[in-house]
Amino acid sequence: MSDIQTPTVRLKPKISPRQIRFGAPWIFADQLVLDRRSRNIAPGAIVAVEDGNRQPLGYGAFNANSKIAVRMLGLGPVEDVDADWFEARFARAAALRDRLYDAPYYRLVHAEADGMPGLIVDRFGDAAVVQPNAAWTDSHLDALCAGLQKAVPVSTIVMNGSGRARKLEGLDERVDLLAGQLDGPLAVPMNGATYMADLIGGQKTGLFYDQRPNHAFAARLAGGQDVLDVFSHVGGFSLAALAAGAASATAVDGSASALELAEAGAKTSGTADRFTTRRGDAFAEMEALAAEDRQFGLVICDPPAFAPAKPALEAGLRAYERVARLGTGLVAPGGYLVLCSCSHAADLAKFREVSLKGVGRAGRRAQILHVGEAGPDHPVHPHLAESSYLKAVFLRLD
């Protein structure tokens, strides 16, 4: 791609280009010279990036309407971001996952960490769900899908264009079937269980692959136990626990459709006779279970992101402390408690601190057995803390 045909944006003179040259993936709007010309560049356009001395840095995707004005796509000369460009990046991402997993069920693209900032792709065998969360992914959607199908043998592609990230980019929310067809939820084998993923109507991409190693570790604690899976979604922890020999599992969630999928997964897994569900607000249901004097050998609490950004941090930490306190009260003596957070604004130290405070306020003491994170199909970008977001703290209570 010729630099003559490509718009150019430039860092402010006092902004050091060092971090960009070292691989930092974002350039914020207040770091750029944003004049009338640059503000007229179409959102999602590919731009050449220069330092404050007009020396070339690389190329990226531009959106003057976003706080993240440039998402870097590469260093060196500008490349054509076409189907072949996408094919090469998808093929590189797939090669890693196929080395890690025996079956094609995984996160195929983890945004910045896979060189495609703002893009999430989860693979479900012959189908894939794409989350184009940045303007450039939306404007290059045809090339993206063509490159995906050239690199990976998928015939069905679903676009899930929902969520907070798209709003921040000025994008609308929509869900579309871009290729192929779907006849209903798909069966996904994982950790000895079968999960049902609704790729069209489900939450995000339909299934949370990031918790896979934590499901497996919890399952090691589940043999012979009564298990409580709070904020269960489609039964992530409970179905794995049942497959590992749990005596029973109870899934709690506010979504009727998610619990229906969990029940379908238990039936398909052959564990429906040991599986029950409770629909309602998770906090209210935990209080109700305590009033019923119910106790469980293993309790897992995997709530949504209570602190998705720094302004929500303090309120989010209070919510995590409350989850820990209520969950602790439902653990039988000598039992296990698993507390999870997917809030990148709440780092591990803060999350662990408030979790243990909640355990203490419930009158219990704990051993920390293990701290889990997302699986290797969710690689971490070394210059982007946000790509390391998932925390799971495994405790044994006195």
Which of residues 135 and 202 earns the better pLDDT score?
135
Give the SS3 label for residue 190. Answer: strand
Q: How many CB atoms lie within 10 A of CB 386?
A: 14
Does the pLDDT value for residue 45 go beyond 60? yes
Report in angstroms the alpha-carbon separations of 391 from 18, 314, 331: 30, 17, 20
Which residue type sits at 14?
K
Which band of pLDDT confidence, cut at 50, 70 and 90, is reported for residue 2? very low
Judge contact between 143 and 83, C-beta under 8 A.
yes
Which band of pLDDT confidence, cut at 50, 70 and 90, is reported for residue 4? very low
Instruction: Compute the distance between CA of residue 283 and CA of residue 306 in angstroms, rounded to an integer.
Output: 13
Q: How many CB atoms lie within 10 A of CB 94?
A: 20
Residues forming the active site: 342
Return mean pLDDT, the chain: 95
Which whole number is the average pLDDT over 113-117? 97
Cα maximum dimension of the chain: 72
Burial class of residue 348 in the structure, from the number of CB atoms within 10 Å of its CB (0-12 exposed, 13-18 middle, 19+ buried): middle
For the chain, which domains are there? 8-75 (2.30.130.10), 83-179 (3.30.750.80), 190-397 (3.40.50.150)
Q: Note the pLDDT tens digit of each residue in 164-213.
A: 889 889 999 999 999 999 999 999 999 999 999 999 988 888 999 999 99
Q: Looking up tokens 């249901």, which residue turns up?
A: 285
Which whole number is the average pLDDT over 49-60? 96
Burial class of residue 365 in the structure, from the number of CB atoms within 10 Å of its CB (0-12 exposed, 13-18 middle, 19+ buried): exposed
Judge contact between 221 and 213, C-beta under 8 A.
no
Judge contact between 86 and 94, C-beta under 8 A.
no
Which band of pLDDT confidence, cut at 50, 70 and 90, is reported for residue 309? confident
Instruction: Compute the distance between CA of residue 197 and CA of residue 190 in angstroms, rounded to an integer.
Output: 12
pTM of the model: 0.94
Does the pLDDT value for residue 280 go beyond 50? yes
Q: How many CB atoms lie within 10 A of CB 281?
A: 12
Which band of pLDDT confidence, cut at 50, 70 and 90, is reported for residue 386? confident
Q: What is the reported pLDDT for 1?
A: 47
Name beta bridge partners: 339.
Answer: 301, 393
Instruction: Compute the distance between CA of residue 172 and CA of residue 51 in angstroms, rounded to an integer.
Output: 32
Total residues found in the chain within this entry: 398
355 closest CA partner among 370, 340, 371: 340
Does the pLDDT value for residue 28 go beyond 90? yes
Rounded to the nearest angstrom, the gap between the alpha carbon of residue 241 and the centroid of all alpha carbons in its chain is 22
Report in angstroms the alpha-carbon separations of 298 from 142, 307, 365: 46, 25, 16
